[in-house]
Amino acid sequence: MYTNMNKITLLEMLTRDAAGYSLIAKESIMRNNHMNDITEINIKEDEINALLVDFINYIGMKQGVDYGLYTTDFKKEQLKFKTDKDK
């Protein structure tokens, strides 16, 4: 757990956590459908990634940071989770 983190550390943490979450996003949304009123989900992995990357960049801009996260960077972060999962 981070305490007294700076803005960049927050964005890096969000990127790392979102990359892991993105791999289970569809299942998580459906599992929690009582919280989101979703009964069916038809979304591609690239669309999930784009949404998460855009949101993280939005949070950065709200904090006055041009974080400049791209989906290509995000996919590299995802690979770390996929590799850890295979171990």
Cα separation, 74 vs 37, whole angstroms: 28
Confidence of residue 82 (pLDDT cuts 50, 70, 90): confident
26-75 pLDDT, tens digit per residue, is 999 999 999 998 899 999 999 999 999 999 999 999 999 999 999 999 99
2 located within any domain: no
Residue-number span of the structural domain to which 49 is assigned:
7-82
Q: How many CB atoms lie within 10 A of CB 77?
A: 17
Nearest to 73 by CA among 60, 86, 64: 60
Q: Which two tokens stand for residue 83?
A: 């590799």
57 located within any domain: yes
Q: Which two tokens stand for residue 9?
A: 């550390």
Q: What pLDDT is attached to residue 68?
A: 96
49 touches 23 (CB < 8 A): no
Confidence of residue 83 (pLDDT cuts 50, 70, 90): confident
Q: How many domains does the chain have?
A: 1
Give the predicted TM-score (pTM) of the model: 0.84
Q: Which two tokens stand for residue 57?
A: 């960049």
